[in-house]
A and B are shown apart, each in its own frame.
Chain A
């Protein structure tokens, strides 16, 4: 039961693979809960792994573009803390197939 220190900011944008080795997205956000004096991680949000989509996301969310009909982009998925294996922080792996992860509604 080894505990290791991981710098969260270095996990961001890292590609995540699922239990079958398929691409599952990149870590975009990490949700946590404040529990008294501690902050406990609850889930990881995985986002599109296509570069153009990642860069364009904040721009396409602008009202101007929404009005033009640009809603369609790859939905993200949420992985609970126990579904993410970070024993090698450089290669995050899911403990299940990517389809099992619920999709995120934007």
Chain B
């Protein structure tokens, strides 16, 4: 099956096993060696990955912000390509979203900010 990385994978929406939104593919990790075709090994998500895609002056500012305020610290979250269930308009991944590290920031905001406001 033919894939174009930019058109079909990069920046596309990920969903988990249940079809719930899991974030977007912010980066794609390729394993390169000189004498074999490169292989795509992981999808990468997270503020650090996004920060690196910006041109130089913005990159450092955002990388610092991401490092400072991200609950996961500076580590981007990686998903192995073997976990793909389906490639389509969205990309379905064999992951339990409720426990996934991809949703860590969401859970943090829920527990520390939104959850503290009555009626949530």
Q: A-side interface residues toward B, CB under 8 Å?
A: 1-10, 12, 28-34, 37-42, 81-82, 85-87, 89
A1 x B33 contact (CB < 8 A)? yes
Chain B positions within 8 Å of A10 at CB level: 27, 52-53
Which B residues have a C-beta under 8 Å from some C-beta of A? Answer: 1-7, 10, 26-35, 37-41, 44, 49, 52-53, 81-82, 87
Cross-chain contact of B39 among A7, A29, A39, A85 (Cβ < 8 A): A39
Residues of A within 8 A of B37 (CB): 40-42, 81-82
Q: Contacts A7-B29, A39-B39: A33 and B34 contacting too (C-beta < 8 A)?
A: no
Asked if residues B34 and A7 are in contact (CB atoms below 8 Å), the reply is no
**Chain B residues near A28 (CB, 8 Å)?**
6
Quick one: given A34-B87, A41-B30, are A5 and B5 in contact (CB under 8 Å)?
no
Residues of A within 8 A of B81 (CB): 37-39
**B7 contacts which of A29, A81, A86 (Cβ < 8 Å)?**
A29
Complex Cα–Cα for A71 and B26 (A): 32
Interface contact B2-A8, CB-CB below 8 Å: no
Contact B33 A2 (CB under 8 A): yes
Question: Tally of A-B residue pairs with Cβ under 8 A?
Answer: 97
A86 vs B35: C-alpha distance in the bound complex, in angstroms? 11
Interfacial chain B residues near A29, Cβ < 8 Å: 4-7
Q: A28-B6, A33-B3, A39-B40 are in contact. Are A9 and B32 (CB under 8 A)?
A: no
Query: Residue of A at shortest CB range from B8?
Result: A32
B10 touches A9 (CB 8 A): yes
Q: Which residue of the partner chain B has the closest CB to A33?
A: B2
Residue B35 contacts which of A1, A8, A30, A39 (CB distance < 8 angstroms)?
A1
Chain B contacts for A42, CB-based, 8 A = 37
Choose among A1, A5, A34, A37 the residue that contacts B30 (Cβ–Cβ < 8 A).
A5
Give the residue among B10, B35, B40 with the most A Cβ atoms within 10 A.
B40
